Amino acid sequence: MAKINQNIFRAYDIRGIYPADLNGKVASKIALALVDLYPDIQKVVLAHDTRKSSLPLSQAIRNTLVKEGKEVIFLGTAPDPLFYFSIFHYGFDAGIMISGSHNPKQYNGITLHVKKKGDIVEKDLEAIKNLVSKERKAKIKKQGRIVVFDPEKDYLNYVAKKINLKKPLKVLIDSGNGAMGYLPEKVFKKLGCRVETIYGEFDGNFPHHLPDPYEGKNRIDAEKAVLKGKFDIGFVYDGDGDRVAAIDNLGRSVTGDFCFLMLARQALEKWQGPIVHDARVSKAFLDEMKEKRIKTYFSISHHTAVIRKIIKTKAVFGGEVTLHFLFPKDYYLCDEALFASLKIAEIASAKESFASYIDTLPRHEVSPEIFIPCSDDRKFKIISKLQKFLRSKKYDFVDIDGARINFPHGWALCRAANTTPIIKCRFEADTKKHLIEIEKESLEIFKGVGVPITKIVNKELGLSS
């Protein structure tokens, strides 16, 4: 048996380059491991994104599950909204989603979900990894079957009933040639909106831009289209539909911090309770919640970790400023970008000008997120060393996910990415001057513990170190 790259098994999902790390044989073994670990599952939802490698991976998994006597509820090319809706709404036993999400097209990934347990992560994913390393072939017990399934109609009816727009909007959609396709357009039209979609065709080559709305360059086409077409709002989705960026009516991207604050305010208008957030959240948000006497909780940056913290704290809203949002009081507790965009549209529909409302939100100076290449076997060791150093020097910092160092005028964050061989850094301060000072001091600390910083240039702030 060919050796399997163990690094594809991460803390919260499975990611690798196709076909070197993740191919049909590996995917088949993962499916076998899932049914060995959870022998009671019978009906498994299977979906994939638009990548060229996703169809052969899904075929390998589908064939394996059928040989194992399972019923495969096959959605074909479908985004996370339809995948999770199928599991939660109809009560199927498990689900397998094949998607590289926002990563470059040579990557792909597999998310495993089990009813009443959620996405398979950490210890259970470690168990999957151990089972995959053993020699095991599918056993033809009782032949299973494939059921081609389309939940779209039920999904459209379900989510539309949960949304109340104060007025119809003119909406621009950019699906980035990912699995969202024309699904957002159908929902917004059902709500009475005028809608135009760009890049709605499925195309795993992503000819226009990568389906990663967090990166500013991938939002440029949508920004231009919103401004030119005089749209009220625009939305840019990632490849599998778990992240969304909003564009205001002036063609400006709305930051994840602003979206998070707006959605938290919206939730608190209906319910009183805690909010769960990631380590990158703005101090402006934390200050407002403190003023309102709302409890807030840091979480590891992954939707599964956020979901766990939401359940534990009985939070009314949660998410990450990297454009992941969760609505425990309004919807199924899953990472669902289309529902998030509908909730943002609700906010915009109640305002005379969405852009004018955005301009009223409190804001601090914040740096772009810095991505530093670092191998998977080194990045967590470096972060551990950083935490030990900060403790020894009595720094005030949060260690929930990496290290968020608190300074008198702002903060700095250094953390290991969960899904890629990268260390990420971000900085925030009350003024531009203080931001530069915090960046310089922090980068020296990071260098000292082995973060592989060679040269970082922030042209906007004039920082070079």
Looking at the fold, whether 450 and 319 belong to one and the same domain comes out as: no
**Cα–Cα nearest to 408, from 381, 435, 384:** 435
**CA–CA gap between residue 345 and residue 347 (Å, rounded):** 5
Looking at the fold, whether 277 and 322 belong to one and the same domain comes out as: yes
pLDDT at res. 74:
98
Strand partners, 370: 425
**CA–CA gap between residue 113 and residue 436 (Å, rounded):** 43
Report if residue 430 sits inside a domain: yes
Looking at the fold, whether 59 and 88 belong to one and the same domain comes out as: yes
pLDDT at res. 103:
86
Per-residue pLDDT of the chain (465 residues; tens, 9 = 90+): 568 998 899 888 899 999 999 999 999 999 999 999 999 999 999 999 999 999 999 999 999 999 999 999 999 999 999 999 999 999 999 999 999 998 889 999 999 999 989 999 999 999 999 999 888 877 776 899 999 999 999 999 999 999 999 999 999 999 999 999 999 999 999 999 999 999 999 999 999 999 999 999 999 999 999 999 999 999 999 999 999 999 999 999 999 999 999 999 999 999 999 999 999 999 999 999 999 999 999 999 999 999 999 999 999 999 999 999 999 999 999 999 999 999 999 999 999 999 999 999 999 999 988 999 999 889 999 999 999 999 999 999 999 999 999 999 999 999 998 877 899 999 999 999 999 999 999 999 999 999 998 745 443 444 443
Instruction: Tally the residues of the chain.
Output: 465
What backbone torsions phi and psi does residue 77 show, to the nearest 5 degrees? Answer: -75, 115
**CA–CA gap between residue 65 and residue 68 (Å, rounded):** 5
- Domain range enclosing 115: 6-150
CB 309 within 8 A of CB 299: yes
Question: Is position 101 annotated as part of the catalytic site?
Answer: yes
The SS3 assignment for 107 reads strand
Residue 2's Cβ-count burial label (10 Å; 0-12, 13-18, 19+) is exposed
CB 14 within 8 A of CB 8: yes
Looking at the fold, whether 404 and 333 belong to one and the same domain comes out as: no
**Cα–Cα nearest to 419, from 281, 214, 266:** 214
The amino acid that residue 172 corresponds to is L
pLDDT at res. 358:
98
Structural domains counted in the chain:
3
What backbone torsions phi and psi does residue 7 show, to the nearest 5 degrees? Answer: -70, -10
Residue 55's Cβ-count burial label (10 Å; 0-12, 13-18, 19+) is middle
Looking at the fold, whether 126 and 164 belong to one and the same domain comes out as: no
The amino acid that residue 332 corresponds to is Y
pLDDT at res. 243:
97
Last residue in a domain, options 150, 174, 193: 150
Looking at the fold, whether 39 and 106 belong to one and the same domain comes out as: yes
Looking at the fold, whether 309 and 178 belong to one and the same domain comes out as: yes
- For helices 24-37 and 54-67, the axis angle rounded to 10 degrees is 40
Report if residue 31 sits inside a domain: yes
The structure tokens listed for 36 are 């060995």
Q: What is the 8-class DSSP label of residue 418?
A: S
The structure tokens listed for 180 are 């969202």
Looking at the fold, whether 451 and 321 belong to one and the same domain comes out as: no
CB 75 within 8 A of CB 46: yes
pLDDT at res. 400:
96
Which residues lie below 8 Å from residue 340, measured CB to CB, with a gap of 6+?
244, 259, 263, 319, 325, 327
Report if residue 324 sits inside a domain: yes
Last residue in a domain, options 329, 363, 397: 363
Last residue in a domain, options 115, 131, 150: 150
Looking at the fold, whether 11 and 74 belong to one and the same domain comes out as: yes
pLDDT at res. 2:
64
Residue with tokens 């009223």, as numbered in its chain: 360
**CA–CA gap between residue 416 and residue 374 (Å, rounded):** 9
Report if residue 159 sits inside a domain: yes
Looking at the fold, whether 160 and 103 belong to one and the same domain comes out as: no
Residue 380 belongs to a domain with what CATH number? 3.30.310.50
Neighbours of 246 (CB within 10 A): 29
Report if residue 332 sits inside a domain: yes
Task: Out of 58, 101, 299, 367, pick the active-site residue.
Answer: 101
Residue 294 belongs to a domain with what CATH number? 3.40.120.10
Looking at the fold, whether 140 and 20 belong to one and the same domain comes out as: yes
Biggest alpha carbon distance in the chain?
68
Report if residue 1 sits inside a domain: no
The amino acid that residue 123 corresponds to is K
What backbone torsions phi and psi does residue 199 show, to the nearest 5 degrees? Answer: 55, 45
pLDDT at res. 456:
53
Report if residue 269 sits inside a domain: yes
pLDDT at res. 1:
52
Looking at the fold, whether 266 and 180 belong to one and the same domain comes out as: yes
SS (H, E, C) 368-412: CCEEEECCHHHHHHHHHHHHHHHHHCCCCEECCCCEEEEECCEEE
Q: What is the pTM of this model?
A: 0.94
**CA–CA gap between residue 24 and residue 207 (Å, rounded):** 25
